[in-house]
Structure 1
Amino acid sequence: MVIAYSARDRSLSDQYYGRDSKHKVIRQDICQYLKENEETYKFFVEDDVLFEHHLENMKQDGTFGGNMELVAFAKLSKVDIKVYQPGFIYVIKGTEDEDEEEEGECPRQILHIAYHDWEHYSSVRNLDGPFTGPPEIKITTAEQKTEEEEEDDEFDSKEKVVLNACPDISIRRIRRLLKKYKGNPDKVIDALYEENNTENDIESTIENNLENAIESTLENTVENSVEMRSDEEIIEQFNDNNEQIKVKEELETKVDEVITLKPKKLTASERKREAKKKQKEAKLLKEQAKAARRSKREKEESTQQNTSLSQNMKEMYI
């Protein structure tokens, strides 16, 4: 590897944007993020320096920053930052492990920064390039094995226990969960079962709520259609029969679609969006049914008033 662009902000700019010219933007973004999260980061400033004073200095070009600013940029941009020191490498995570599981298997961007001479940060690039644009760092270590290689590895006893209980889960995820739960296969199995049951409960609740809303709308429509009506209302009702039949058929079709819908495995964010969408649809159906009943009552009241007025006119004439 080769080192390019000294200074922290220029190094981050080179790694994140593929050029060092955005270093001022990165510096200001870091300062703004630290200001918004003062309660989290103020304890990492030296005791004799006010946090506000530290931020004011950091906004100025030429002021050296440290590990706190790297952490802030990682959290702000949701990237991992791999810091290389002589004989030591560490990674600053941009998100927590729980957030990573919700996001799925998509890898986060990794920025490669060298820390040398105990005060300088530099961008890391390959010896054979590219020297401009995205760095495209190539690293071949045991950590970077592909998923196919991991699946070809021989499973240990704990992994086999989890695989037997949850055969649909990838070995890559099982190993990550075993690491999270300190090698306890029972806790991993419980976590996977709980996650699966939660998904099924959410889908079942959404489906039942939608079916109940549609059935309630159908019942209200039928009840309103068989209420006592005057002769004039019955004549008017004949003209509306076709429209009511059409609405009923559409609602029944929606019920059939909900019943025959096969649940598919969704991500956490997709399940939330789907739940909100279905809740809005159910709410819309309820509002439509309510509007139909209100319109019906208004029509009945208007008809009764006209009938009463006609009767009064007859009595006056007599």
Structure 2
Amino acid sequence: MLQRTRSWHRPSTTFALALAVTAVVCVVAMVVDQRTVLGAPVWDKLFKFAVSGALYFLTWGWLVSLLPRFQRTARIATDVVIVLFAGEYVVMVGQAARARPSHFNNATPLDKTLFTAMGGMVAGIWVATLVLTVLLMFTRLEDRATHWAVRTGAVISLTGIGLGALMLGPTAQQRARLKATGASDLIGAHSVGVPDGGAGLPILGWSTTGGDLRIPHFTGMHALQLLPLLALGLGLLATRFPRLRDSAVRVRLVWVGSLGYAGLVALVTWQAVRGEPLVHPSAATLTAAGTLVATVALGAAASVRRPQRVLVR
């Protein structure tokens, strides 16, 4: 269901492959190097960044190829993202080698400088991604469902990247320490209500005792892959279900899925900022989740419903 495109952006695909190889190296490093930082293996964060980055850049390598114009601008913006992400990753490798936290580290002038530099790189990545997202609004795809999935996925992904800013403010404990002593080794955290480094989900590491701002950041960012995959899946299902052969039906389903996904990002953000673990939702969270699921289900059912024929006597 996808139209023919120009060749994929080669630097993006090459960098994605390099990150995939790096992820494997990180797994080996975690076996060999048993050191930990804030309760997690020193190479764990680098592994997760490599996997996430590989998916991100592979997707943008494809998306850039869809643009009917502004190819040069898009390729430059993508190259900027690659350089900045690589720079951030190098800093993280250096801190891991020193067994030091790479994020929120304010312990020494060097640590503070490195994290500030990383923050500048992330801001640059967001701006370059904003440029790419705006350019993506000029795509014209033959399959309308994919057309809208690409656009909505890019917008939600940009929002997800921006949600990382929620981690930068000092926690209540850090503010108290700063007030009492004028210094704090860490300023900012991904956990809410509990210190970073506590009990977490396997592999992902998301907190099971408090809120975790990495969840909305991760969920939002990967709309870039999941929503186009939804459109692709609907296109494949259309070979078996005649109702889905109607392009308008698939477009409606993509919009329902996109709005539902945006609602999911909002839900997990609300849950995280309240200091609530993902795996221990409150009654309010369950009610909101149930409402979201019901709304999406009703929207999907309405999208595939055949219009009633009006009998003219």
Instruction: Please indicate the TM-score interval, normalised by the length of the shorter structure.
Output: under 0.3
Bigger Rg, which one: 1
**Structure with more strand by fraction:** 1
